[in-house]
Chain A
């Protein structure tokens, strides 16, 4: 006997939208969505109307006007005659720089502190607890200001390096100067460099840097091929050939040869006039912001790392050692891969937090994107709505990119269930 599904023979009626359970939920959702969109439309039109009443219609034309202010840290060419757009881009680059440096250092701090907190040594474990609780429980803004104050008050000013018997002196054979305005380190200079290449006529990239990175990348790739070859030999003969000298040579020799060919020599900072000239200046505001963000976020990451390691059951490491794996190998091959799948997801949000917290930079005068676009540009042009909207878009893009990259990585390391 064939079972026929009962088809609704009744024609569709309007009231079925409410009384028929098949349609009801859809109706409610559509109504709610329409209501929400109406509210948003009202808000937008209200904002636009109010701004028009104030005589300030939304207009992004100011971005092409000359910024008229100077920025003390920029990776691409900038002068006070450059546009507000360019100033914003420079701010964005400064934000990315401090976020990148901060994430690196925070991860390193977090790993070390997190592992040490599990130490069997009572003092070490307690010290790490103090570190974590200390940094986690004080607002990061206070840490930023505190680090800045320490740098300004404790470190010597450039003037103290002057004279026959100066109060302060440079470190490492006169190559590094640590002052309260920043840390000056030697910069790489090339006496027969390749010059710069202009990208769309907007900014210039050093060809020397590109060449160096290409050669280094090629070396690393070649050494990986060598390692693969060694693996094949090991599989067929059971004996792994020694490859460390090949890999080292492949990674080290070509870049060094390139540097020699380009006439590499370090440019040392030198006290000239009011400040040190030459070298790379890591500004006090960058250092304070970087350290504060990294130490603060590092405390959170340490807890994440500890939780990740503790989440792997003890049986796993016991099983690994019963298989004959040494502790380092069992950490690398057994514990860490399982810990990572616990560590990565909360780590993503810590990286995002760090990036967003970097907008506190203006408290110590670091010219990040909130300092240029959301600070001086906003203030000098009076375009609050436009600037804030652009800022939101900027941070949204950064955050979504970071989380996309890390989600991709998370997919790589997460437990593969078969």
Chain B
């Protein structure tokens, strides 16, 4: 009986750590680095490069955030998290911010007590098949075996899509993108479904991308963005406005190369407010006056980050599409620095 008590005590102990911590910024400052949760390996979004340094679209955001806080884009440690472990890692305080192709949904925002700080990629769920399968549309997938990353919204969308179209399928749950590739390329499943950006990345990493086809159907809305825990508004503000600074920088023509120069002062008051030569936005948000300059200089503005990691000139080859800046007809939009 005593052993049972001990067991319960150990379980309770394991679960009672963590809790609601306030003043994340102070904690991060004290640690001396930012702890950022990223994908376990998705080329273009988050993957270690040949030198073992994490790079990618999602990683670049963390670097910008670290630069805004410490002035050093390398002052960030990365925790690779799976679709299943990511929210627990964030809620327990193991990571300060999660930047891992995470879909902003009602239940995650409200019920899981997280704060999405914005949208950095407008995505939708799609299907990828081998060309040799001879499938041209998702409506022809009745009876197919579908590889799917467990613990993601794609799992729920998939069930809804097949149900509403009156089709049967055989779900094959997997943990990571790497496992999905193994099963998919060995024909253990007919199609692989995830966000279309993820499909593009997986396709790009294949030796013969032309043998794979991404089906035209988009079966869901997947607004992806970074998120932090509920309960620390100042930290959420920092995370939100670093993202907004990257987007505004594209809009205002501030790049990694000219940010330092523009920080000395320009004719555009909004640039001056953002970069700190006018007003005291840095003080208001609890950072240095030139926080946005560092953030932009880390890996460039939104357009630079997009083009370097996942744009048309990269192996991933994604068009800006819905992710163009609003003035170019896209959805990417930042509230003003005023």
Contacts and interface: CB of A to CB of B under 8 A. Distances in A.
Report if A and B associate in a common complex: yes
A152 B186 contact: yes
B29 interface: no
Interface string B251-293: 0000000000000000000000000000000000000000000
Contact of A273 (B142, B159, B186): B142
A157 B141 CA distance: 17
A15 B2 CA distance: 28
A272 interface: yes
A376 B188 contact: no
B145 A365 contact: no
Interface in A162-176: none
Interface string A265-295: 0000000111101000000100000000000
B66 to A, nearest CB: 26
Contacts of B190: 274
Nearest to A362: B175
A39 B108 CA distance: 34
B30 interface: no
Q: What is the predominant secondary structure among interface residues of chain A facing chain B?
A: helix
Contact of B173 (A54, A55, A68, A365): A365
Contact of A275 (B11, B113, B145): B145
Contact of B183 (A36, A152, A371): A152
Nearest to A157: B187
A334 B235 CA distance: 75
Contacts of A40: 5, 8-9, 12
B172 A273 contact: no
Interface in A16-63: 36-37, 39-40, 43-44, 46-47, 50, 53-56
A39 B84 CA distance: 32
A256 interface: no
A149 B182 contact: yes
Contacts of A43: 9, 12-13, 16
Contact-residue size bin, chain A (C-beta under 8 Å from the other chain)? 35 or more
B23 interface: no
A153 interface: yes
Contact of B159 (A47, A50, A68, A181): A68
- Looking at B19, B107, B174, the one whose CB has the most chain A CB atoms below 10 A away is B19
Contact of A365 (B108, B133, B172): B172
A379 interface: yes
Contacts of B170: 72, 181, 275
B19 A54 contact: yes
Contact of A152 (B19, B151, B188, B230): B188
A181 B188 contact: yes
Nearest to A363: B175
A318 interface: no
Contacts of B160: 68, 80
Contacts of B231: 54
A79 interface: yes
A149 B188 CA distance: 10
Contacts of B169: 70
B140 to A, nearest CB: 9
Interface in A363-418: 363, 365, 367, 371, 375-376, 379-382, 384-385, 388-389, 392
B155 interface: yes
A46 B171 contact: no
A180 interface: yes
A50 B179 CA distance: 36
Contact of A80 (B16, B163, B182, B187): B163
Contacts of A336: none
Contacts of A389: 11
B87 interface: yes
Contacts of A274: 141, 143-145, 190
Contact of A53 (B19, B111, B175): B19
Contacts of B163: 79-81
A379 B163 CA distance: 22
B171 A71 contact: yes
A355 B72 CA distance: 50
Interface string A96-112: 00000000000000000
Interface of A: 36-37, 39-40, 43-44, 46-47, 50, 53-56, 68-72, 79-81, 149, 152-153, 157-159, 180-181, 272-275, 277, 284, 362-363, 365, 367, 371, 375-376, 379-382, 384-385, 388-389, 392
Instruction: Report, nearest first, the 3 A-B pairs whose CB atoms are least far apart.
Output: A157-B187, A80-B159, A43-B12
29 contacts: A36-B9, A43-B13, A47-B15, A50-B20, A54-B19, A55-B113, A69-B155, A69-B159, A69-B171, A152-B182, A157-B188, A159-B133, A180-B187, A180-B188, A181-B170, A272-B143, A274-B141, A274-B145, A275-B143, A275-B144, A275-B170, A365-B150, A367-B173, A371-B173, A376-B150, A376-B155, A379-B87, A379-B150, A382-B87
Given A54-B113, A181-B170, A274-B143, 16 more contacts: A44-B12, A46-B16, A50-B20, A54-B231, A68-B160, A70-B162, A80-B159, A81-B163, A157-B187, A159-B133, A181-B145, A272-B143, A371-B150, A380-B107, A382-B113, A384-B88
